[in-house]
Amino acid sequence: MGASDQSVIGQSVRRKEDYRFLTGAGHYTADVYPQHHTHAYFLRSPHAHAKIGKIDTAKAKAATGVLAVFTGADLTGVNGLPCGWLITGSDGKPMNEPPHPVLAQGKVRYVGDPVALVVAETPNQAKDAAELIEVDYEVLPAVVNCVAALKAGAAQIHEQAPGNKCYTWALGDKAAVDAAFAKAAHVTRLDIVNNRLIPNAIEPRAAVATYSRADDSYELYVANQNPHVERLLMGAFVLGLPEHKLRVIAPDVGGGFGSKIFLYAEETAMVWASKKVNRPIKWTAERSESFLTDAHGRDHVTRAELALDGDGKFLAMRVHTVANLGAYLSTFAPSVPTILYATLLAGQYTTPVIYAEVTGTFTNTAPVDAYRGAGRPEATYVVERLVHQAAVDTGIAQDEIRRRNFIRTFPYQTPVALCYDTGNYDQTLDEAMTIADVAGFPARKAEARKRGKLRGIGYSSYIEACGLAPSNIAGALGARAGLYEAGEVRVNPTGSVTVFTGSHSHGQGHETTFAQIVAARLGMPIENVDVVHGDTGRVPFGMGTYGSRSLAVGGSAIVKALDKIVAKGKKIAAHLLEAAEADIEFEDGKFTVAGTDKSKTFGEIALTAYVPHNYPLDKLEPGLDETAFYDPTNFTYPAGTHICEVEVDPETGVVEVVNFSACDDFGNIINPMIVEGQVHGGLAQGIGQALLERCVYDEESGQLLTGSYMDYAMPRADDLPSFKVGTKVTPCTHNPLGAKGCGEAGAIGSPPALMNAVHDALATVGVKYLDMPASPHRVWQAIQAAQKA
Amino acid sequence: MAGSTVVSIGLTVNGKAVSADVDPRMLLVELLRTRLGLTGTHVGCDTAQCGACTVHVNGQAVKACTILAAQVQGTAVTTIEGLAAADGAMHPMQAAFKECHGLQCGFCTPGMVMSAIDLVGRHPKASEQTIREQLAGNFCRCTGYHNIVKAVKQGAAAMGQ
């Protein structure tokens, strides 16, 4: 940040966006009702794997209110949905990338795969007509488990992916790792399943597509986290529409958590169909469709090993993971279990050599892609479960084994490609232990024992990499997009400011945080700053919001644009004040000639820029409106320690989270209230994964068994405790805000903390290993099995 | 019913008299959103689990996706749009949600606020545990409920004054 009025930075300013949300004035995609709109309904495959014979749509087309019925055969000239990340396998070959048709072509590959689009006057007419479509299915054997999919004789899902393999990819020095293991004093081994999750933003996916014959253009409202990416992928790669003819608006969006990053079939088919029917088409997913078709998360099966010397120093780590990518490659799917996973396996530790091998597989399940944390929770779970178990194996205390291995010199080059710029891991561990009152744990454990409860404590010292960057490195790693962000700062003639950001807010509070940045830099009240996002017709080309990037990358773009505004303002002020530009200082909203009391307010400069009567027109353009693109030079590395305390009832297997403490280092913080809120939400999703949530497909039929809120255990208010959170700050060294990102940390750090606590609690009754979620059923069974053993 | 495909209903919504001819299978939430333009009441699921559509019918919290429009004949319905004062000042519960950062994406918020007001009516001095149990019919995926619980406590105190 440049020097100016900093008083609003670091303040828990109440959110500017809240009034509309609290009074029912939020404007979500499902709230868009264009004149003369029609309704879409998608007929979906009831089978996990089947050949499609004849599709008879005649009765449906003749049904009341139906405008059109489209199947895959109708989509001539429409390409498949593209994948945005190319992984090159360890054999040097590009990944297998089978077609991902918008509507099924000849085959369906998961329950929910869209087969036909019905457009009708009302939602019920569309739904009723879909029931009249006759599809001849030849049902094929299905495979839903990623390990089973690789076995000989497994059902083959794509011709282009023999053995259901997308890629086998590796990172690290295998020979060095094997050598280190050979001389290790101790090796800890774990087999780990990272349970599959369904994101479940409370706003279901939705879209409203409108075609205008007047100028041959399209407008799409869609619940999406990155409208420019959506427009680029849909326009350029699938439908062949140029950007200037396709406007994508992601208005208020009711949560994303990754699941709304991706280009989906539904909105793509609707944009195409909107021209055919020449009427706006509206669609909102039913929740059961969300369960079936939103991209899922996680789903890894891993063998992990950690080699230690006699003093508990980590010598090497070896990880083999099979990742389920689902039936088709979703937009960023291939990068999640590779680039965003294996690169995080160093964690906070000096492990000198690491080798990871990942096989991505196709199965007859919904596509799997980024979900809050995306690869980093999976990596953290591997590292922190290994570290916990290594401490148990070697008899070293949980905090001590971490301290013996912490990275303390920065920048630090890990053996898995990343270079950490800064951090202080002792500081966050110390603070987390204070918040958690670790000293009082033995007494609490003894007291719980008297009540018949098993109390355990678990640690997780996590690292994450946010703000995926820079573009050229990411490109070399297979990214098919840039990873910068854009921001425009438009100063209006009377001095108020409108900011246009390529970031997208779907709960993160950018309208407030970004306004604080602008208000601080320009020395004005935040009421004078409005933030516009989510509309390709209004904001410059941006990459949207994912990967905890918005402040570090999007915020930095705004800072760069503000720098340009201030620089131009100095030129105008120098002219008005008849001084040299170099002598003009800008602080607290005033341009001053250094060492004098001659000054002009920011508002006067703004007005002069737009009413340039006394203005250096020969040297300077009028107006005060600047755009900047910021491409980071590195990732940012938030880190921290989470400590969880649980009580297990051995009679019922019920695990209660009785204490959850976190100390995080997110770098500089603009709005602590919003940051804490992000941590709380992340913790809830991480605790949800560890305690409650698990997506289950039937192994035989491939049917989704957890297809509603009756079957999929979403965390409710009474499942969670209040959280104790704190922060420590080491500013990021390479972006102008010193910010690192906070959106995903909670979901990354918390699952291993909770599971380590459960293992600690159950150690006293002989339970050695348990996979997530630690449901009462599983815990009770593990206790019974241990007692019999 | 011989040939009857519409039901005529009359009720008040946010204090205003409303009459409508509705399809017998129309849900209250559809009436509010598509006929009356009250889009603050949201639909988040199809199994009456998420609570995003919660409104008040005669002062009681009801999930508007589990009741037919035809069933609210003669009732007084209040939605999230009907809580603020005529001058726009927020209801104390709305104000508490803002003050405590009890919302993020805002999608579950209307239902959450309507449930919270109902629970305070029944439990004016609710403990954290009671608040958590009473809110179990409303999902929030953003906040982890921590600040919602805080907001309900603060809102309850403000409503009691």
- Chain-chain contact of A28 with B103 (C-beta, under 8 angstroms): no
Q: Measure A680 CA to nearest chain B CA, in Å.
A: 5
| pLDDT for position A472 | 87
Closest residue by Cα to residue A270 from A299, A310, A234: A234
Question: Would the CB atoms of A24 and B39 count as touching at under 8 Å?
Answer: yes
Burial A396-421 (b: 16+ CB within 10 A, else e): bebbebbbbbbbeeeebebbbbbebb
pLDDT score at A2: 40
Residue type, A527: E
What stretches of A23-173 show up as alpha helix (H) in DSSP?
A: 58-62, 123-130
Residue A3 pLDDT grade (very low, low, confident, very high; cuts 50, 70, 90): very low
For residue B18, name the pLDDT band (cuts at 50, 70, 90): very high
> In whole angstroms, what is the distance from residue A684 CA to residue A660 CA?
10
Shortest Cα distance from A202 to chain B (angstroms)? 5
User: Does A709 sit within 8 Å of B45, measured CB to CB?
Assistant: yes
Q: Please compute Rg for chain A using Cα positions.
A: 27
Rg of chain B's alpha carbons, rounded to an integer?
16
**A135 secondary structure, DSSP code:** E
**Coarse DSSP helix, strand, coil percentages of chain A, rounded to the nearest 5 percent:** 30, 25, 45
Q: A506: which chain B residues are within 8 Å (Cβ-Cβ)? A: 105
User: What is the least distance, in Å, from the CA of A257 to any CA of chain B?
Assistant: 9
pLDDT at residue A481, rounded to an integer: 85
pLDDT tens digit string along B77-114? 999 999 999 999 999 999 999 999 999 999 999 999 99
Higher pLDDT residue, A468 or A675? Answer: A675
Q: How many interface pairs between A and B have CB atoms less than 8 angstroms apart?
A: 182
Q: For residue A318, which phi and psi values (nearest 5 degrees)?
A: -135, 125
Contacts of B135 in chain A (CB under 8 A): 716-718
Q: Do B140 and A202 touch (CB under 8 A)?
A: yes
Give me B3's structure tokens. Answer: 């040939």
Q: Is A742 on the interface with B (CB under 8 A)?
A: no
pLDDT in tens, A535-567: 999 999 999 999 889 999 999 999 999 999 999
Share of chain A above pLDDT 70, in %: 99
Best of A13, A198, A202, A642 to mutate (most B CBs within 10 Å, chain B): A202
Instruction: Please answer yes or no on whether A255 and B107 come within 8 Å at the CB atom.
Output: yes
Distance from CA of A497 to the nearest CA of B (A): 24
CB contact at 8 A, A202 and A709: no
**In angstroms, what separates the C-alpha of B125 from chain A's closest C-alpha?**
17
User: Which H or E run includes A208?
Assistant: strand A206-212
Average pLDDT score over residue span A743-750: 97
pLDDT at residue A274 in the model: 98
The ipTM estimated for the assembled molecules is 0.98
**In whole numbers, what is the pLDDT of chain A averaged over residues?**
97
3-state secondary structure chain B: CCCCCCEEEEEEECCEEEEEEECCCCEHHHHHHHHCCCCCCCCCCCCCCCCCCEEEECCEEEECCCCEHHHHCCCEEECHHHCCCCCCCCCHHHHHHHHCCCCCCCCCHHHHHHHHHHHHHHCCCCCHHHHHHHCCCCCCCCCCCHHHHHHHHHHHHHHCC
Q: How far is A184 from chain B (nearest CA, A)?
A: 42
Which residues, in sequence order, are CB contacts of A448 under 8 Å at separation 6+?
A454, A455, A647
CA–CA distance, B113 with A23 (Å, rounded to integer): 10
| C-alpha–C-alpha distance, residues B29 and B41, integer Å | 7
Specify the pLDDT at position A477.
Answer: 87
Q: Which of B23, B30, B45 to mutate against chain A (most A CBs within 10 Å)?
A: B45
Alpha helices in A15-115 (DSSP H): 18-22, 58-62
Q: Which of A12, A253, A674 sits opposite B105 (nearest CB)?
A: A253
The burial of A74, by beta-carbon neighbours within 10 Å (0-12 exposed, 13-18 middle, 19 or more buried), is given as middle
* Nearest Cβ partner for B106 among A21, A124, A287: A21
| pLDDT for the residue numbered A531 | 97
Give the model's pLDDT for residue B4: 60
**Given phi > 0 = left and psi -120 to 50 = alpha, else beta, which region is A488?**
beta
Reported as a single tens digit per residue, the pLDDT across A638-654 is: 999 999 999 999 999 99
d(CA A448, CA A454): 7
Find out whether the peptide bond into A411 is cis, omega within 30 degrees of 0.
Answer: yes
Q: What is the DSSP letter of A739?
A: B
pLDDT score for A473 = 84
Best B5, B43, B49, B104 member to test A by mutation, with max A CBs in 10 Å, is B104
Q: What is the pLDDT of residue A63?
A: 98
Which residue(s) pair with B11 in the sheet?
B18
Using CB atoms within 10 Å of the CB of residue B2, give its burial: 0 to 12 exposed, 13 to 18 middle, 19+ buried: exposed
C-alpha to C-alpha distance for A388 and A272, rounded to whole angstroms: 52
A260 touches chain B (CB under 8 A): no
Confidence of residue A6 (pLDDT cuts 50, 70, 90): low
Q: What is the pLDDT of residues A431-455, one digit of tens each?
A: 999 999 999 999 999 999 999 999 9
Question: How confident is the model at residue A589, as a pLDDT?
Answer: 95
* Nearest CB to B79 within list A24, A255, A677: A24
Containing H/E element for A743?
Answer: none
Closest chain B residue to A677 measured between Cα atoms? B143
Cα A703-A706-A709 angle, rounded to 5 deg: 140
Q: pLDDT category, B1, cuts 50, 70, 90?
A: very low
Q: What is the DSSP-derived secondary structure letter of residue A30?
A: G
Residue A251 forms contact with B (CB below 8 Å):
no
B127-145 pLDDT tens trace: 999 999 999 999 999 999 9
Residues A268-310 have pLDDT tens digits of 999 999 999 999 999 999 999 999 999 999 999 999 999 999 9
The pLDDT of residue A1 is above 70: no
Nearest C-alpha of chain A: how many angstroms from B73?
23
User: Which H or E element spans position A91?
Assistant: none
Contact B44 A746 (CB under 8 A): no
The whole-number pLDDT of residue A467 equals: 85
pLDDT attached to residue A474: 87
| Phi, psi torsion values for A323, nearest 5 degrees | -115, 135
By CA distance, what is B139's nearest residue in A?
A716
| Residue A456: C-alpha distances to residues A315, A429, A444, A554 (Å) | 28, 18, 10, 41
What's the pLDDT score for residue B100? 98
